[in-house]
A and B are shown apart, each in its own frame.
Chain A
Amino acid sequence: MDFKPKIIGFLCNWCSYAGADLAGVSRIQYPPNIRIIRLMCSGRVEPYFIFEALKSGIDGVIIMGCHPGECHYMTGNYEAEMKYQLLKSLLTYVDLDNRISLEWVSASEGIRFAEVVTNFTNSIQKLGPSPLKKIDKDSELLFNLNALQIAANDYRLRALIGRKRKILDEGNVYNKKYPKEKFEDLQETAIYDEYQKNRIILYLKKENLSVKDLSERLSIAPNKILEYIVDLRGEGLIDLKDIQELTPYYTAKQEA
């Protein structure tokens, strides 16, 4: 019962921060766990910020922006939503997805702000302390989280997310609206692949490993690992290190 969650709230200046102010003016009480970081727009929320927060042991992160269609910068909250969906998918792999949340709160929703914060705080309270709170540097969780963080910053995922709205809502380069379900399947596959590829890179940064070694560590069939190895070599991110008996060993390029 002693657990007091630490929560970060990223709030846009124009709606949610004003909503939080209104909760204050109206003296609506809510749990004191949240630390608010004001940004001009929820679209400013960089996926990296959330990883940094989680790695530093924060128990929960909530992003709040203007309701859809009401963004002070026209489309910033849509950008935020796209990025949030990406984060949510990424974090399922390490079971941290339920520690982040995205909510729309307007300047007149003081009560709603307090409710959102209360509910989120309660849900984090139920989840218990973040597993990253007391963790040693070599833990698998941190290792995986690092892989996800790199994946989040990778061009492939950023390009998909960055163009998602255009492709789905406005029309792609062929002036066609791409089917949402298909896009989401593609996005999920991309997320999974990028995650595993970055895990491979991180393992290979520590030591030289073979396909079979990697298969064991990642619990992925060796044929699939090989596919990734081919990709990564093609992308110039890993190199063949040496061959011992019949088995090739790989290493990551330091700049990768």
Chain B
Amino acid sequence: MEKIGAVLTIGGGIAGIQSALDLAESGFKVYLIEKTTGIGGVMAQLDKTFPTNDCSMCILSPKLVEAGRHQNIELLINAKILKVEGRAGNFKVKILKKALFINSEKCTGCGVCAEKCPVNSIDFYNEKLSRGKATFVKYPQSVPLVFSINQDNCIGCGVCEGVCKANAVEYSQKDEEVELNVGAVILAPGFDEFDPAPLKVYGYGKYRNVVSSIEFERILSASGPYSGMVLRPSDGDIPEKVAFLQCIGSRDIHHSKPYCSSVCCMYTAKEAVIAKEHQKQVNPTIFSMDIRAYGKDFDKYIIRAQDEYGIRYIRSRISLIEENPKTNNLILKYEAEDGSLITEEYNMVVLSVGLNPPDDAIELSKTFGFELNEFNFCKTSTFEPSKTSKPGIFVCGAFAAPKDIPESVIQASASAAHANILLHSARNSLVTKKEYPTEIDVAGKPPRIGIFVCHCGINIGGVVDVPGVVDYAETLENVEYAERNLYTCSADTQIKIVETIKEHNLNRVIVASCTPRTHEPLFQETIREAGLNPYLFEMSNIRDQCSWVHMHEPVAATEKSKDLVRMAVSKANKIEPLQRTILDMNHNVLVIGGGISGLTASVGFAEQGFMTYLVEKTAELGGFAKNIHASIEGSNVKEFLSNLIEKANNNENLKIFLEAEIDTIEGYVGNFKTKLKSKGNKENKNNTFEHGIIIVATGGEEYKPTEYLYSKDPRVVTQIDFEKMLFESEINKKVNKIVMIQCIGSRNDKNPYCSRVCCAEAIKNSIKLKDLHPEKEIIVLYRDIRTYGLKEQYYREARSKGVIFIRFDEKLPPELIKEEENLIIHVDSPNIGKLDLDLDLLVLSVGIHPPYESNEILAPMLKIPLNDDKFFLEAHVKLRPVDFATEGIFVCGLAHSPRSIDESIMQANAAVSRASTYLSKDEIETEGIVATVDISKCSGCGLCIETCAYNAITMDEEKMVVIINSALCKGCGACSSSCRGSAIDLLGFTNEEIYLVINEVK
């Protein structure tokens, strides 16, 4: 059967967008279908993201724009799947595109229709907290920026048709069916928030000041209903006391939501911190059972929330909320840890709602024929966490299990890797490369500038005197042509611009309209069609930053528009064509580390036909996983690992070097050269090879405890030792009382992070023990049980099988006392009090730490950073979780942070997909806006080298001048502004160009 080089991605949230971008960049045609009218998903609704408090929209919107404009991505909004046929490699999918009633080809997104719409309706983006219109766009930065009419609310008055100057309104538009042929499907439908209304005890929907966490997120947002002020809905007052209630619709067996939603502990901490930041009068209290801060740098965030922001944590689950009808305050009753009953009054309550499978989960599973698990999330397995039960259909994001943004982005790339592996033979078969005419040589020719001034319907023209601006523009230096358009961005105007350039021999073009952030690429493409270099273009923003913001000052706005056009003309007189450097791309891959992550990545590359060199420092493949027998889900790790090693050994595209280390690495993306050195195996010495990509999969190590008489008394063992007893030998008959202690070597001053896997390991082994010997007693001493996501069910299983869990406070850790030959653990629990436990075996749940020494050697060698804990630090914790700032190098597995086997497999596959965006190309194109150095002025001081965040600058030791590698330069210009001798300039934003513009502000 013929394989189709196209992929269908379902869901336009961050996971869907990431998988679509990965595949589109890897040579596949992508159809991205979204059931609402805009992509962005829940992330577009968030104010900030944890643990960095990054502004969500700031980091998301470049991805939205990229997905909206990518040549290989077709967006299908307001659409649903009707029918699917075929199998892996070749599916036929029928899709219903529901009518928008506004022609999206013609709609310019100017928004006059919504402004004039007389009907108020519900604004779903703001979680119903503010009002929208029947004619609407999902949110201001929405992609695609097209309006539509919500017919549930539309009264059919006809006003929008009258005001739309683009004639885009089509009341008679009909639903449309389309059929797509794709090779693979990626499911990224996301999640729905748990609706707390049916839980009557919390009064949600009845008491105004009880809001859900996603509503609170909109309240916090600067673009939200209250412009970022924290106000309570009943009277608009600032709430002094705000209570956050955790686990609403999570870990709740009574409402059939037994799983943990994974993200609520962290987003609540973030919402509490941001609330405090926005309004210092707010004092948040968080009621929770455990604090599940298991991710990279999460625990530090919780500590800061408590210490710096004074957020109060109370370990309790609230069972009832009542309202004081006079004040609309809320009365909370709870049982404190010591058992006392407390009543407190709050001004506002936020319910931290959990993540539900999407409403259409069952429908999707029926249409596509894949299985769901008992919670209606997509069913996956430990070793294939991104594959559904049906071949060729992959899954990512919260639909596979509740997860946060970085884990969703990782899995998005992982699912894209599976599509890459399945369809690599059909790569580049369906993508179209746009051909442009040969560029006209403008060197030495005097500038001939053409200016197109946009009315934007009435958006600009209603305020600014556009004809006046055109008349003025004609008087400026070297302006050969000026005209005005109703919409400069409309399709017919593009044709007109091309004709005008040819007719008037224009060699510089200026558009005075809206923002270059969304529209510059469109016009650059247009002038390329006329044979001009795309950088011979300038833009004046006379709408977003002029007519819209000075609506009531038409004279001043017109004057400002003229100034902005004059400034653009002054720069246009200087701009030169810029060239995007073309670099060869070597298709070989170096993978450092032969554990599960390194092996998974290596096989992923080799199966796509890329030559892969796997370097392992020990004599054996398998890494730390060699010590693990089963996963918490009961999957056989030993068997999986030996199969994986066999796969690696048998693939002819995979060359394995054991007992080898990296001696030197030189070069940059697409062009690396590596020399190995021997670590025992002499054959590896001086082995040298070239490659285009590096995968860092150097793994982690087990903490070697010095606490609790470990290695001094044979009755004290680690969890790994205990697992060996359970799976390989027998538990001594005399061992009847077993105690486990959690967080050994984690969450302390030396290793402040959570090792993430130890809770699950302890529970896995406890269950195994109870299954083998139900009569044996086992007690787990813990600080927080962090069985996040679907692992929560095993925590429950352990308790139901009689495993006893006792919490201790970090300030009062359990003490081990040896009385003659007897071991006794003394523990002071906040909820039970002081206890003395005698025991026959003490099992320590030890943490994971990075291989300090080898990471410290590798990091400077690859010019990639380590974080405070000495794990490798990715380019961006939220949206680039496997990339480094230095291009062509990727990280996966424990090298990144502690994680479970399924998560390491996901991340390894993610690295495969990210690298495939490079490996799928024969050459890579760099940006035109890059820094250049005039070596005659360079004194070799090296200040710029330190300033550069991308390691793009190096010193030529012989000539003592710097060299800028344009393949690595991102064009920020920080080097230029720190150069003492004006030796560095930024092409496209040169000093001279900027001086000219400054001097035009008169």
User: A25 and B140: CB pair below 8 A?
Assistant: yes
Q: How far is the CA of A83 from the CA of B979 in the complex (A)?
A: 12
Residue A246 lies at the interface, judged by CB distance under 8 Å to chain B: no
User: B550 and A32: CB pair below 8 A?
Assistant: yes
Contact of A36 among B545, B929, B998 (CB under 8 A): B545
Nearest A residue to B539 via CB reads A38
Task: Name the residue among B62, B223, B541, B974 with the largest chain A CB count within 10 angstroms.
Answer: B974
Residue A106 lies at the interface, judged by CB distance under 8 Å to chain B: yes
- The answer to whether A37 and B998 touch (CB under 8 A), given A24-B544, A47-B977, A66-B58, is yes
User: B977 and A44: CB pair below 8 A?
Assistant: yes
- The answer to whether A36 and B541 touch (CB under 8 A), given A83-B977, A155-B941, is yes
Question: Which residues of chain A (95-150) have a CB below 8 Å from chain B?
Answer: 106-112, 114
Question: Which residues of chain B (530-566) have a CB below 8 Å from chain A?
Answer: 541, 543-546, 548-553, 556-557, 559-560, 563-564
Residue B5 lies at the interface, judged by CB distance under 8 Å to chain A: no
Contact of A24 among B548, B943, B978, B999 (CB under 8 A): B548
Contact of A56 among B875, B974, B998 (CB under 8 A): B998
Chain A residues near B223 (CB-CB < 8 A): 22, 26, 108, 110
Stretch at the interface among B149-157, B742-750, B814-822, B989-997: B989-997
- The answer to whether A20 and B1001 touch (CB under 8 A), given A40-B972, A106-B222, is no
Shortest beta-carbon distance from B211 to chain A in Å: 20
Residue B830 lies at the interface, judged by CB distance under 8 Å to chain A: no
Q: How far is the CA of A8 from the CA of B564 in the complex (A)?
A: 11
Nearest B residue to A13 via CB reads B517
Shortest beta-carbon distance from A157 to chain B in Å: 9
Nearest B residue to A155 via CB reads B980
User: A53 and B61: CB pair below 8 A?
Assistant: no
- The answer to whether A79 and B551 touch (CB under 8 A), given A32-B557, A44-B972, is no
What sequence of 0s and 1s flags, for each residue 861-904 of chain B, a beta carbon within 8 Å of any chain A beta carbon? 00000000000000100000000010000000000000000000
Contact of A26 among B54, B58, B140 (CB under 8 A): B140
- The answer to whether A6 and B1001 touch (CB under 8 A), given A27-B551, A37-B994, A73-B970, is yes
Q: How far is the CA of A48 from the CA of B229 in the complex (A)?
A: 38
Q: How far is the CA of A63 from the CA of B946 in the complex (A)?
A: 23
User: B974 and A35: CB pair below 8 A?
Assistant: no
Residue A241 lies at the interface, judged by CB distance under 8 Å to chain B: no
Residue B612 lies at the interface, judged by CB distance under 8 Å to chain A: no
User: A49 and B994: CB pair below 8 A?
Assistant: yes
User: B989 and A39: CB pair below 8 A?
Assistant: yes
Residue A233 lies at the interface, judged by CB distance under 8 Å to chain B: no
Contact of A79 among B564, B567, B974 (CB under 8 A): B974
Nearest B residue to A17 via CB reads B517
Residue B949 lies at the interface, judged by CB distance under 8 Å to chain A: yes
Shortest beta-carbon distance from A32 to chain B in Å: 4
Residue A18 lies at the interface, judged by CB distance under 8 Å to chain B: yes
Residue A23 lies at the interface, judged by CB distance under 8 Å to chain B: yes
What sequence of 0s and 1s flags, for each residue 152-164 of chain A, a beta carbon within 8 Å of any chain B beta carbon? 0111001101110
User: B550 and A44: CB pair below 8 A?
Assistant: no
User: B998 and A32: CB pair below 8 A?
Assistant: no
Question: Which residues of chain B (59-80) have a CB below 8 Å from chain A?
Answer: 59, 61-62
Residue A242 lies at the interface, judged by CB distance under 8 Å to chain B: no
User: A166 and B946: CB pair below 8 A?
Assistant: yes
What sequence of 0s and 1s flags, for each residue 64-106 of chain A, a beta carbon within 8 Å of any chain B beta carbon? 0011011011111001000100000000000000000000001
User: A111 and B517: CB pair below 8 A?
Assistant: no
What sequence of 0s and 1s flags, for each residue 598-610 of chain B, a beta carbon within 8 Å of any chain A beta carbon? 0000000000000
Residue B367 lies at the interface, judged by CB distance under 8 Å to chain A: no
Residue A41 lies at the interface, judged by CB distance under 8 Å to chain B: yes
Q: How far is the CA of A53 from the CA of B989 in the complex (A)?
A: 16
Chain A residues near B59 (CB-CB < 8 A): 70
Shortest beta-carbon distance from B157 to chain A in Å: 22
Chain B residues near A56 (CB-CB < 8 A): 998-999, 1001-1002
Interface size on A, residues (CB 8 A): 67
Contact of A43 among B58, B929, B977, B982 (CB under 8 A): B977
Q: How far is the CA of A46 from the CA of B931 in the complex (A)?
A: 14
User: B58 and A70: CB pair below 8 A?
Assistant: yes
User: A8 and B222: CB pair below 8 A?
Assistant: no
Nearest B residue to A48 via CB reads B991
- The answer to whether A21 and B515 touch (CB under 8 A), given A32-B553, A73-B949, A155-B980, is yes
Shortest beta-carbon distance from B519 to chain A in Å: 11
Q: How far is the CA of A110 from the CA of B141 in the complex (A)?
A: 12
- The answer to whether A45 and B977 touch (CB under 8 A), given A22-B223, A109-B222, is yes
Residue A189 lies at the interface, judged by CB distance under 8 Å to chain B: no
Q: How far is the CA of A106 from the CA of B973 in the complex (A)?
A: 20
User: B978 and A158: CB pair below 8 A?
Assistant: yes
Nearest B residue to A159 via CB reads B943
Q: How far is the CA of A6 from the CA of B557 in the complex (A)?
A: 14
Chain B residues near A75 (CB-CB < 8 A): 949, 974
Question: Which residues of chain B (563-621) have a CB below 8 Å from chain A?
Answer: 563-564, 567
Shortest beta-carbon distance from B405 to chain A in Å: 15
User: B564 and A27: CB pair below 8 A?
Assistant: no
Residue B57 lies at the interface, judged by CB distance under 8 Å to chain A: yes
Residue B185 lies at the interface, judged by CB distance under 8 Å to chain A: no
Task: Name the residue among B228, B545, B989 with the largest chain A CB count within 10 angstroms.
Answer: B545
Q: How far is the CA of A44 from the CA of B946 in the complex (A)?
A: 15
Chain B residues near A46 (CB-CB < 8 A): 976-977, 991, 994
Residue B52 lies at the interface, judged by CB distance under 8 Å to chain A: yes
Question: Which residues of chain B (6-23) have a CB below 8 Å from chain A?
Answer: none
User: A27 and B541: CB pair below 8 A?
Assistant: no
User: A158 and B62: CB pair below 8 A?
Assistant: no
- The answer to whether A154 and B980 touch (CB under 8 A), given A24-B545, A73-B972, A79-B974, is yes
Chain B residues near A39 (CB-CB < 8 A): 973, 989, 994
Contact of B549 among A14, A30, A69, A107 (CB under 8 A): A30
Residue A225 lies at the interface, judged by CB distance under 8 Å to chain B: no
Shortest beta-carbon distance from B134 to chain A in Å: 19
Chain B residues near A13 (CB-CB < 8 A): 517
Nearest A residue to B55 via CB reads A106
Nearest A residue to B566 via CB reads A35
User: B973 and A74: CB pair below 8 A?
Assistant: no
User: B55 and A52: CB pair below 8 A?
Assistant: no
- The answer to whether A29 and B549 touch (CB under 8 A), given A37-B567, A166-B946, is yes
Q: How far is the CA of A67 from the CA of B274 in the complex (A)?
A: 14
Shortest beta-carbon distance from B110 to chain A in Å: 10
Chain B residues near A162 (CB-CB < 8 A): 943, 946-947, 978
Shortest beta-carbon distance from A17 to chain B in Å: 6
Q: How far is the CA of A53 from the CA of B995 in the complex (A)?
A: 8
Chain A residues near B991 (CB-CB < 8 A): 46, 48
Question: Which residues of chain B (77-132) have a CB below 8 Å from chain A?
Answer: 111
User: B999 and A52: CB pair below 8 A?
Assistant: yes
Q: How far is the CA of A163 from the CA of B945 in the complex (A)?
A: 11
Q: How far is the CA of A1 from the CA of B306 in the complex (A)?
A: 51
Residue A15 lies at the interface, judged by CB distance under 8 Å to chain B: yes
Task: Name the residue among A13, A26, A35, A56 with the largest chain B CB count within 10 angstroms.
Answer: A35
Shortest beta-carbon distance from A24 to chain B in Å: 3
Residue A28 lies at the interface, judged by CB distance under 8 Å to chain B: yes
Q: How far is the CA of A31 from the CA of B559 in the complex (A)?
A: 13
Chain A residues near B941 (CB-CB < 8 A): 155, 159
Q: How far is the CA of A45 from the CA of B972 in the complex (A)?
A: 10
Contact of B971 among A31, A40, A58, A107 (CB under 8 A): A40
Shortest beta-carbon distance from A187 to chain B in Å: 15
Residue B56 lies at the interface, judged by CB distance under 8 Å to chain A: yes
Residue B986 lies at the interface, judged by CB distance under 8 Å to chain A: yes
Closest 8 CB pairs of A and B: A24-B544, A44-B973, A43-B974, A73-B972, A41-B972, A24-B548, A46-B977, A106-B55
Other A-B contacts than A43-B974, A106-B222, 10 sampled, CB-CB below 8 A, are A25-B548, A26-B140, A32-B557, A106-B57, A107-B57, A108-B47, A108-B223, A153-B982, A158-B979, A163-B946
CB pairs A–B below 8 angstroms (17 shown): A8-B1001, A17-B517, A21-B544, A32-B559, A40-B973, A43-B972, A44-B989, A45-B977, A57-B1002, A70-B55, A73-B950, A75-B974, A109-B55, A109-B228, A111-B227, A155-B941, A158-B979
